[in-house]
């Protein structure tokens, strides 16, 4: 297969759209209950862990884009082949394909569980999975620009979340944030590490980059997207820390949904049900872009049409859903994905950047000689 991509003008997007892509990919099922995981390590300093995790994410994004700038017409799959050669490059491609597929499965299964627990406890997970996959197939077949449009619409759907979550602040106790910096730095860093499952998604830039027209503006809009996500997660964490007591937060699986459940309007009694239903639009970019990322890697090694791929891919995902049933199984898979995702998203970009520098330095010396 070709190492470089051939992208038509009609497929290219403007750099400002990266803001919506990054934001949409980072806001998914993790937002429903990330507070408990962070609080277990960092306690009332959990909000500091959130900030630290995003600082590290900004640094990693900077490294990712610097790597991509060395290969402006290629994505990560092509970079693997250029840096390591065909066989070793395809080995790394397989790992990234597995990561993207794993991420798709985790998002899908966690959202199905939320629907089963909060809205339809007796509805078959297989039926819910098949229904969601049909929506993904429909959106995926629209092409990359349609997926970008879904990201924009998803962002619009999240704008109301911060404002409505300020309602529980009436019952908040600011004193629960005190004493500040009372926990060891090691525990705060562990809390930041626990944000991995929630914060990942920005690595989609590795695949989207060749489709951007103004390459010189990529850094600006990707970092703006990360900053917007930070503001959302930080505000939710601060509200949760001041609303729930410590023991409550440690036992609450979906703290954000619990915040929604206390909100009452004369015309809507259970706001959390409306929220969960609308969340399908918010997680749709996660599912579509992870599937698209998997597809971009598969076609590097196998000649397969996008329509055939998405049907095979969706069938495989549906089969996996059948084997994941209990909450303990879901927690186990989430933990595995969190550790694996940390290596792929936060550690591996440093390695590939170093290898790309060595490769380019070697080629430069070879040309001069």
Which CATH fold topology does 9-368 show? Amino acid/polyamine transporter I (1.20.1740)
Residues with Cβ within 8 Å of 316's Cβ and at least 6 positions away in sequence, in order, are 101
Classify residue 6 as left (phi > 0), alpha (psi -120 to 50) or beta.
beta
Residues 216 and 68: beta-carbon distance below 8 Å: no
Least confident of 144-148, 188-192, 204-208, 277-281: 277-281
pTM listed for this prediction: 0.95
Task: Report the first-to-last Cα separation within the chain, whole angstroms.
Answer: 30
Q: From residue 202, how far is each of 23, 57, 177, 341 by CA, in Å?
A: 8, 8, 29, 12
As a whole number of angstroms, the distance between CA 7 and CA 151 comes to: 21
Q: Render pLDDT for 55-78 as a digit per residue (tens, 0 to 9).
A: 999 999 999 999 999 998 899 999
Residues with Cβ within 8 Å of 220's Cβ and at least 6 positions away in sequence, in order, are 15
As a whole number of angstroms, the distance between CA 367 and CA 357 comes to: 15
Please say if the pLDDT value at position 4 is more than 80. no
CA atoms within 13 A of residue 215's CA, in its CB half-sphere: 15
Please say if the pLDDT value at position 162 is more than 80. no
Any bridge partners for residue 13, and if so which? 212
Please say if the pLDDT value at position 5 is more than 90. no
Structure tokens at 302: 């196998």
**Domain ranges in the chain?**
9-368
Q: Render pLDDT for 352-362 as a digit per residue (tens, 0 to 9).
A: 999 999 999 99
Among 149, 134, 129, 118, which residue's Cα sits nearest to residue 277? Answer: 118
Residues 139 and 147: beta-carbon distance below 8 Å: yes
Structure tokens at 57: 């994410």
- The greatest distance separating any two alpha carbons of the chain, rounded to the nearest whole angstrom, comes to 78
Alpha helices in 27-85 (DSSP H): 34-42, 46-69, 76-84
As a whole number of angstroms, the distance between CA 254 and CA 334 comes to: 14
| pLDDT range class, residue 263, cuts 50, 70, 90 | confident
| pLDDT range class, residue 160, cuts 50, 70, 90 | confident
**Cβ neighbours around 7 below 10 Å, total:** 13
Phi, psi (rounded to 5 degrees) for 307: -65, -40
3-state helix, strand, coil in the chain (%, to 5): 80, 0, 20
As a whole number of angstroms, the distance between CA 43 and CA 49 comes to: 10
Please say if the pLDDT value at position 220 is more than 70. yes
Q: Render pLDDT for 22-64 as a digit per residue (tens, 0 to 9).
A: 999 999 889 999 999 999 999 999 999 999 999 999 999 999 9
Structure tokens at 259: 């915040």
**Cβ neighbours around 120 below 10 Å, total:** 12
As a whole number of angstroms, the distance between CA 143 and CA 97 comes to: 19
């Amino acid at each position: 297969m070709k190492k470089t991509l051939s992208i038509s003008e009609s497929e290219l997007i403007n750099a400002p759209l990266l803001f919506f892509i990054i934001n949409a990919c980072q806001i998914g099922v993790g937002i429903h209950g990330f507070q408990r995981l962070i609080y277990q390590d960092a306690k009332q300093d959990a909000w500091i862990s959130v900030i630290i995790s995003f600082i590290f994410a900004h640094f990693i994004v900077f490294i990712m884009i610097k790597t991509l700038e060395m290969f402006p017409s290629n994505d990560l799959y092509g970079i693997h082949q250029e840096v390591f050669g065909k066989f070793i490059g395809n080995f790394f491609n397989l790992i990234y394909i597995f990561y993207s597929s794993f991420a798709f499965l985790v998002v899908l299964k966690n959202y199905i569980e939320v629907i089963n627990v909060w809205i339809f406890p007796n509805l078959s997970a297989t039926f819910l999975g098949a229904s969601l996959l049909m929506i993904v197939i429909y959106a995926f077949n629209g092409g990359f620009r349609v997926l970008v449009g879904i990201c924009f619409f998803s962002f619009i759907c999240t704008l109301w979340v911060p404002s409505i979550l300020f309602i529980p602040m009436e019952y908040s106790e600011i004193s629960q944030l005190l004493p500040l910096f009372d926990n060891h730095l090691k525990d705060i860093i562990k809390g930041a590490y626990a944000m991995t499952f929630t914060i990942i998604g920005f690595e989609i830039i590795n695949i989207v980059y060749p489709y951007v027209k103004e390459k010189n503006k990529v850094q600006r809009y990707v970092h703006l997207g990360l900053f917007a996500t930070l503001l959302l997660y930080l505000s939710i964490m601060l509200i949760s820390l001041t609303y729930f007591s410590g023991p409550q937060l440690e036992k609450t699986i979906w703290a954000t949904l619990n915040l929604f459940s206390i909100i009452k309007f004369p015309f809507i009694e259970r706001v959390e049900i409306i929220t969960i239903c609308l969340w399908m639009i918010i997680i749709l970019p996660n599912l579509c872009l992870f599937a698209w990322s998997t597809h971009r890697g598969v076609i590097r090694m196998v000649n397969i049409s996008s329509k055939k791929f998405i049907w095979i891919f969706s069938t495989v995902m549906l089969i996996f859903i059948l084997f994941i049933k209990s909450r303990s199984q879901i927690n186990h898979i989430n933990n595995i994905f969190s550790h694996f995702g940390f290596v792929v998203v936060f550690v591996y970009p440093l390695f590939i950047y170093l290898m790309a520098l060595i490769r380019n330095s070697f080629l430069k010396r070879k040309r001069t000689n």
